[in-house]
Structure formats: C-alpha cells, structure tokens
Structure 1
C-alpha cells in the first residue's frame, strides 16, 4: 500500500489525470476556461502597459519600437495626411521617414494597396502612442464581438482572446484580428444579410492575398447579392483613396509589385521563420524556388477545392465559415504567423459544430490542445527549419474538412471506431 501511494505512483497518477482530460470534452473546456481567466488579463496588461507605453514616446518598456509593425502604418498615414501619399511606395524615402520618426532600427517596406492608406491616415491623426493603443483596442473589440456573435457564448470569447495568435497580433500592432473578424462576419452573414456580408468581405481589400477566396466562393455558389456588395465596397474604397490621395500611391503600388515579390518571397527580408505558407516551408527547409512554387500551387489548389466543396455541399453555416477561415491563409505564398489569426475562430466554430454533433473526435481534441504551442511557432521554426505554422494550418484545414464534407466525415468516423 505504501508503494502505491509513494513518489513512484505520482507520475502514473498525473498521466491518468492527463489522459482523463484528453478524453473528456467537459474537462478540456474547464481547463480552457481556467487558463483564459488568467491569460486574458495577463495578455491585456502586457500589451497595453509593457508594449503600449514606455519611458519615451516612440519606445516601449522593452526598449523596442512602440507598436513594432504598426510604426509604418502611422508613418505611411502621416505621409498621406501631408499630401505625400506616394512616399510609402518609394522604399528609400519610406525608410528615411521611418528612421526620422522611430529611429534607425525601424525598417519596413510598405506593400499594402493604397486603400489601406485610409485607415492609416485616420490613425496618424493621433500621436504614435495614442494611435497604437486605439488600433489595439479597436482590433481587440471587433474580434471579441465577432467571437461573441459567432459562438453566442461568453466563455468562447474569453478562450478565443487567450489564444497566442491574438497576443501575437496585438504585440506586433498587426491587422490580423481585423482580417479574421471581417472574414468571419462575412461568412456567417452571407445567407441572412448578403449585402452586409459583401461589405465585410470587401473591407478586406487591404490584404488581397487573404481576401480573394471569399468573392470566388460567392461567384461559384451563385450568391450574387453578396458578390455585388463586395465588388461595390472594393470599388468604393479604391475611389475614396483616389479622391483623398490622388493617383500617385496607385502608380507607386503598381510599380513596386515586382519589388514586393523580390523582398518578400525571393529575399525573405521578413525572415524565413515567419512565413507559414507552403512556399515558405520549402524555402525554410532549404528548397529551391521552383520546388517552393510547386508545393504552393498544390496546397493552394487543395484549399480552394475544399472551400468550394464545403460551400457547395455543407448545410452548417459554422462549418462553411470555418472552411473559408482555414482555407484562406493556405492559398497565399506569404503567410506571416500573425495572418494565421483566422484559424482562431475556425477552431472555435469547429468545436461548436463538434459539440452539436455529440462531441469532439480525438484528432480535433489534439488540435485544440496544441493551440498554446502556437506561441512557440517562430522560435521552433527558426531552430529546426521545419514549418510548424504550415502544419497547424493544414491540420486545422483537415479537421474542418472531415466535419464539413460528408464523405470525409464518414471515413474519419469509421477510422476512429476501428482504432478503438
């Protein structure tokens, strides 16, 4: 009796508890709720205090640039407000503007289409610190509202906000939460409020590599009202940017497309360890450009086919939304880790669909358990030369596909029964 209750029994007891948690949806949900209650306040405190303030107006308490990637949004917006909207597309001039505003270590190339100068200019009406805090609050608020509307549950909002990809976006000052929110809202509203859905899809025009799948699905599934609203929204944004800033930024954007390809894809100036695409995975492993493009075309084709099939045969709006959210990042050859943010609502909607159908499958549960590991994606990818980001994206896509497509769902259920 003494031996069974001694130190040697503790690992076995711990493993039994872990196994029980892995096999119980209820225990997994309780753990997620408990973790979120600690992580969300901690995340917000770090973002708004450590990253959002500092001893100098342009520096946070870590000594880094205030807002990191957001710095160039503010600088580009400032140039636009001052009647120099073409400067962000002139790399040497843009780098000098960044240096003057935030110091010599602030070096980013501006690749966004001119429609993004509209919100950038709005942010530049405030000083850098106030702009970063407002940008952070708006992205966080919209994302929380989206999770609430998608799930109808307060605990799902808290769990979603605790996801490391949310923290990643907030600390970088990136726009991934806006992208994830707009794509989610558009997909959920597409049949009930098609004009509003098209508006949401059209607003993602600032990130065309992630925005392109939604109008394609609207076209091939005959959702004409939503497609019309999407096209009208994009045209309105383009005309608004022309009216506000003139032709110069559009000319600069078109002239720098080849430069963007060279900087982002060929030279990987942002780092090979940040690109979670199929293209990036091959390059990270030391493969050739030709091999990288070959794998990217294959993965893109697979993602488009799956999204089309899901939107054609799946009757569940939650799974159709998850299909779009999981497929969209896999199509682009450049997917920085913060642009994996759509996977957060995708996995949440997958879990909701699983709950309605009777519970999570084993591989779905492992996908949810692996979520905290996304905080280590970039260090792990850099250390190993292996794209864990791509694995996460493809795993999410596969789990959604098994639920959304009847044939795959049947085969996966039979496989689980046989394994048991």
Structure 2
C-alpha cells in the first residue's frame, strides 16, 4: 500500500509550509495518486463546466445572445445559419461571404466576422440543426457532442471512471462552450482508430464521416491504404461518396461550385491575413507567424512538423505496435498536418493522451516526462490567452510534447526497465489504476 499523503499537522510555520510541497511531490511521483487526484478534480470540474456551458453560453438576457453579448452558442451560430440557408434553398449563400455575414447579422442582431470554409457535406447536419430554433439547436448539439466523446473515451479506455476524467479536459469544455465541432472530430477519429481491426466497416464509417473536415480526414485513409486494410478503406470511401451524393441531391451543385471557388479566399483569409487571429492558430505555421517570422519560414516549419507527424503515424501503423499507441499516433499526428489548427481543434490530443496513459500503464507505469505532460493539462485552458498576451505558441508546444511522448513509446523494440523487450498489448487489456496497482510508485 502506498504511504499516506502528508498531512498538515500543527507545528512550526516551516513545517506547515513544507506540507503542501510534500503532498505535491507525492502526487507527482505516483500514477495511482495522480489518477485519484484527477478523479476528484473531474467530479468538480465536469458539473461546473457543463453548468457554465448551459447557463452562461446557452442562455442570455436577449434573444439569440448569451450573457457575454455574443451570439448564442458562439461559433455554433455559423452551423445553424448555414443550415437554415440550405433548408430554404439557398445552399450556396454560406460560400458568398457578404451574404453569409448578412445572414449572421439577421440571425443574431449584431456584426459577425465568421467566414464559411467547410465543404458542402456539412450542410447535412447543419440543416438538421436548423430545423430547431437556435437555443434548442445549440443544446442538442452540445448533448450530442458530449455523448459521442463520452462513448469514444469509454470505448478507448475500457473504464467509465477513466473516460469521465477525460471529460474534465479544458479542450472538451472549450468545444462545448463555443459550440465547435472539435469533439465530433476527436470522437470519430478515436472510434475509427480503436475499431479498425475489430469492426472495420464501422471504423471506415467513422473515418468517412470526417469528410466535413478534409485536412483531418486525409491521414486515416492513407494509413488504411498502406497497411492493406481494404475492408475499412472501402467503408470509408463509400461513406464519403454517399455524403457527397446526398449533399448534391438535397442542395444541388451550387454549394460545391461555391466551395471550390472560395478555396483561394480561404488561403488568403485564414493563412495570409490571419483574420481569425494569430493567437488562435496552434500549428507550426501559426507559431512562426505569431513569433513574427515570414511566410517562407512558416511553411518550412509546417513542412517539417507535418513530415515528422506522417512518419510517426506510418511507423505506428506499419509495424507491430500496441493498439493503444497506434490509435494515439493517428490522433496526435492528424492535427499537426494542417497549417491552420485552431486551439479547439486540438481536441484529438485528449484521447491521444488517454491512450498514451493506458499504454504506459500496461508497460509498467508512466515515465517522469509522461507524468509531467499529464500534469500540464490545465495549461490547455490558457493556450490562446498565453499566445495573445506573450506571443508564446503554447498550443504547439503542448501538441509537440504529446507527440514526443507517443513517439518515445512507439520506438520499435523499446527495452523495458527490467532489461526485457517490451511486448505489444491489446486494447482490451483490463486497466488497473489505483492503490492496488501502485506497486513501487507506479500503476502496475
């Protein structure tokens, strides 16, 4: 049994001041203690975060505006307005920036700067949400994203309490508060990665549903192709084709014409002009631009990081690898490929860190650098603020730290601490995290 945490017994001021440090040292030196602390924190943070989402961002003193004065549901209003245009037979309007901004102003009663860059397949769920008024649509969107990410985490972790801890991650609450789709992206990537061998058709369906975000969806089919997973690849391609045909049948060809016609504008608005803000973009490209570097240096840095990410994913998928690490490699690599990576799109790092912890647990416990990474999770709450105030690309740093920890585990024939070569594990291996598994300060 592990030694109890230090208590703050009456004593000298020096002893009382040293007690919290001892508690922290014990916490950071034991997987079991860290997990126990994370569970206690999640019990407070998850209800508090959901209350904030529902009461502060989901309601407001004025129709269709929250308590901050922003559009109700923040970024979700874009989805809803585009869906309403599609329902009314004006599916091409989201790709006409002046028309789209006018529709947003008419819906929210204020100026909005949102531009629409999604392919027309997203008009399918957008039109479904637009069948409701903005507030119930936002609440439904929130409930569905929370349910899907909870399912994905539960399936990946194999335990409800581990999945619940993941829901307390700042990136989860960020996506819920702003009505973004990052949780759908992370969930579909996770479900596809963990089901790829057990349920290939279902995994392919999940990968194919990512067609609304092509820069995130491209990596999975490539890995399926190079590893010969034909059944899963066929399901993925069939899903994408079905989505494209459905959008054509329901909304016509005008949205597709508009989408392809705005690709140049997307590059100009998002990358060259950084209209969304340099503090928002957590990619290697965005980090160089945030630091004042020229476009050529930004593209060079992006190419280097993308090459490393692609190399890790291919190594993990093409060689014998713990299935949890294989899934984590896909999840951490997919975001790094894109030159535009808003902080909310870092959401795949949540299941990536969870799967990394599971793999480390099966291999004997977290290493100090992995434990440090997990302890830095609260920093995700201030990624954009840190970039805006200091010019420091904290989002990219956290992404690369997660990438490095997963890459270290993926190394072939890694020698374990006992001198034996580590063996790959099964994603269904039971997880024992707690005092009974603590051993010598690690989860065994």
Answer whether TM exceeds 0.5 for this pair.
yes
- Asked if the contact 2:57/2:74 (under 8 Å) is kept, the reply is no
- Asked if the contact 1:98/1:107 (under 8 Å) is kept, the reply is no
Could you list the per-position Cα deviations for residues 112-141 of structure 1 after superposition, in whole angstroms to 9, with x for gaps in the alignment?
000000000000000000100000000000
The aligned counterpart of 2:334 is: 328
Match of residue 148, structure 2, among 139, 142, 145 = 142
Query: 1:241 offset after TM fit, Å?
Result: 0.3
TM-score, scaled to structure 1: 0.95
- Asked if the contact 1:402/1:412 (under 8 Å) is kept, the reply is no
The aligned counterpart of 1:348 is: 354
The aligned counterpart of 2:375 is: 369
The aligned counterpart of 1:170 is: 176
Structure 2: how far apart are the matches of 1:86 and 1:363?
49
Alignment partner of 1:206 is 2:212: yes
Match of residue 102, structure 1, among 98, 108, 131 = 108
Alignment partner of 1:303 is 2:309: yes
- Mapping of 1:255-274 within 5 angstroms? 255-274=261-280
The aligned counterpart of 1:402 is: 408
Question: Compared with structure 1, are the counterparts of its residues 6 and 200 closer, same or farther at alpha carbon in structure 2 (3 Å cutoff)?
Answer: same
Structure with greater helix share of residues: 1
Question: Compared with structure 1, are the counterparts of its residues 129 and 75 closer, same or farther at alpha carbon in structure 2 (3 Å cutoff)?
Answer: same
Structure 1: how far apart are the matches of 2:161 and 2:112?
38
Structure 2: how far apart are the matches of 1:383 and 1:46?
24
Indicate the structure whose relative CO is greater, using CA pairs within 8 Å and at least 6 residues apart: 2
Question: Compared with structure 1, are the counterparts of its residues 367 and 413 closer, same or farther at alpha carbon in structure 2 (3 Å cutoff)?
Answer: farther
- Asked if the contact 1:186/1:201 (under 8 Å) is kept, the reply is yes
Match of residue 87, structure 1, among 78, 90, 93 = 93
- Which stretch shows the higher mean deviation, 299-308 or 349-358? 349-358
Alignment partner of 1:55 is 2:61: yes
Could you list the per-position Cα deviations for residues 223-250 of structure 1 after superposition, in whole angstroms to 9, with x for gaps in the alignment?
1111111111101100000000000000
Question: Compared with structure 1, are the counterparts of its residues 113 and 413 closer, same or farther at alpha carbon in structure 2 (3 Å cutoff)?
Answer: farther
The aligned counterpart of 2:80 is: 74
- Asked if the contact 1:76/1:85 (under 8 Å) is kept, the reply is yes
Structure 1: how far apart are the matches of 2:370 and 2:412?
16
- Asked if the contact 2:58/2:73 (under 8 Å) is kept, the reply is yes
Query: 1:6 offset after TM fit, Å?
Result: 1.2
Structure 1: how far apart are the matches of 2:341 and 2:16?
43
- Asked if the contact 1:70/1:172 (under 8 Å) is kept, the reply is yes
Aligned residue for 2:279, secondary structure, equals: helix
Q: Which runs of 5+ in 2 are unaligned?
A: 1-9, 420-444
The aligned counterpart of 2:390 is: 384
- Asked if the contact 2:316/2:326 (under 8 Å) is kept, the reply is yes
Aligned residue for 1:397, secondary structure, equals: helix
Structure 2: how far apart are the matches of 1:234 and 1:384?
41
Alignment partner of 1:24 is 2:27: no
Structure 2: how far apart are the matches of 1:162 and 1:376?
15
- Asked if the contact 1:313/1:405 (under 8 Å) is kept, the reply is no
- For the aligned residues, what is the CA RMSD? 1.4
Query: 1:314 offset after TM fit, Å?
Result: 3.4
Structure 1: how far apart are the matches of 2:418 and 2:165?
27
- Which stretch shows the higher mean deviation, 280-289 or 46-55? 46-55
- Which stretch shows the higher mean deviation, 98-107 or 333-342? 98-107
The aligned counterpart of 1:7 is: 13
Structure 1: how far apart are the matches of 2:141 and 2:204?
24
Query: 1:404 offset after TM fit, Å?
Result: 1.9
Query: 1:411 offset after TM fit, Å?
Result: 9.6
Structure 1: how far apart are the matches of 2:169 and 2:129?
26
Query: 1:412 offset after TM fit, Å?
Result: 10
Match of residue 191, structure 1, among 192, 197, 222 = 197
